[in-house]
Amino acid sequence: MTAYLIKNVSVVGAAPTDLLIRDGVVAQAGAGLSAPDAVVVEADGLVALPGLVDLHTHLREPGREDAETVESGSRAAALGGYTAVCAMANTSPVADTAGVVEQVWRLGREAGLVDVQPIGAVTVGLAGERLAELGAMADSAARVRIFSDDGHCVADPMLMRRALEYVKAFDGIIAQHAEEPRLTEGAQMHEGEVSTRLGLTGWPAVAEEAIIARDVLLAEHVGSRLHICHVSTAGSVEVLRHAKARGVRVTAEVCPHHLLLTDEVIGGSGAGAVAGSGEPGSPAGRSYDPVFKVNPPLRTATDVAALRAALVEGVIDIVATDHAPHAVEDKECEWAYARPGMLGLETALSIALEVLGPEWDLIAERLSRAPARIAGLSGHGVDPAPGVPANLTLVDPAVRRTIEPADLASRSRNTPYAHMTLPGRVVATFLRGEATVLDGKAVK
């Protein structure tokens, strides 16, 4: 196994030091290290972070390999600084049995670019009618611990209660896509001033907030673990703050696009499209561009500000990408027929830097340590130090790069950040000491 000597790197923003990676671990750390047999990585000005961990990735395989495969999604993840991703269950067939989650897990191992941890479906076929084989998936080779019908809400409160009760036995987690379906029928974007102006059916904030309020009460009653996917409204933040103050075992994620973009981008004017930016038209967009269609939808600047504050405060625990690749025909069509979702793996760290600034400890916590703890991923989310598994990424914070869809490793091109200039570039990523990215390029 190749040894690597990383010279003059700042570990999570600390004073520059050297790191020697050997036999899958950080063997030594300190100034002036030498190792004649090691490949030297000059890291002046670079920051070493624990490998990023994504709790919410859509890899599309099996079933939609035209949009993404486990291998192509894993490559995109490594280029984004990730060493582990959790793959959502809405594949075809749905990951609702031990056989399907083991297939995804094995495909991840074969790719060898990141650790792929499957998420199992809560209900059979994501239909919301009866529980899937939760126990069998938990006992499978994939050792599933998180279950989600993401893309669909577990709307039946009795079914949600039973799911929470079931996974409590093995300290599992139900990850909820919070959307009351009767309030979002036919919805196309956030319900508000912009939707009225554009004549599109609105997706009200209360549809998210009502489900979160219900489910934190159910989790409190059962004493089980609940995770809220892609929180998008200021009201949801307040519900979560109240629940955490009461000791409910709830965690929550926010997506990069909900931290940066607002519903104004859909109108095509550009003014106010990037929260906190005075640059009109920062995302190069046109009116009704389906690349900005996502579920939950882009919200208002007020919501974005609340989400940013909650992320810093810790009311929202992590940043998760909701990386959702789509084939061309599913995005380059009329708005009403377009599939919701955006790419995220290769740009999430840059968005975090744009929103949070170079707060390296906070970035490490929200994009690596906390998601690894929630998912129970041993060896991930640990700052580089002697004896620690060498799962880490090197970032150049001085670079500002322009996002070009054709340059992305994903099989799909539906990034909402096309032609935007964002801070930070991943220079290298290591998975258990093996380089998956060097000089900003995938090794395999």
Is 60 annotated to bind ligand?
A: yes
Instruction: Give, in order, the Cα–Cα distances in Å from 213 to each of 122, 155, 206, 243, 320.
Output: 19, 13, 10, 8, 21
- Strand order of the β-sheet with 173-176 is 146-148, 173-176, 225-228, 250-254, 318-319
Question: Nearest-CA neighbor of 272 among 299, 297, 252?
Answer: 299
Phi-psi region of 139 (alpha: psi -120 to 50; beta: other; left: phi over 0): alpha
Which residue of the set 322, 330, 361, 439 is catalytic? 322
Is 258 annotated to bind ligand?
A: no
Instruction: Transcribe 270-287 into DSSP letters.
Output: -TTSBTT---TT-S---T
Distance between CA atoms of residues 230 and 298, nearest Å = 11
Question: Nearest-CA neighbor of 309 among 228, 205, 237?
Answer: 237
Is 341 annotated to bind ligand?
A: yes
Is 323 annotated to bind ligand?
A: no
Active site (annotated) includes residue 37:
no
Is 59 annotated to bind ligand?
A: yes
Q: What stretch of H or E contains 84? A: strand 82-87
Sequence-distant (6+) residues with CB within 8 A of 316 are 231, 237, 240, 252, 253, 254, 307, 310
**Token couple for 190:** 């956030």
Is 423 annotated to bind ligand?
A: no
Is 391 annotated to bind ligand?
A: no
Binding residues for Zn(2+): 56, 58, 150, 177, 230, 322
Binding residues: 56, 58-60, 90, 150, 177, 230, 295, 322, 326, 340-341
Binding residues for substrate: 58-60, 90, 295, 326, 340-341
Catalytic residues: 322
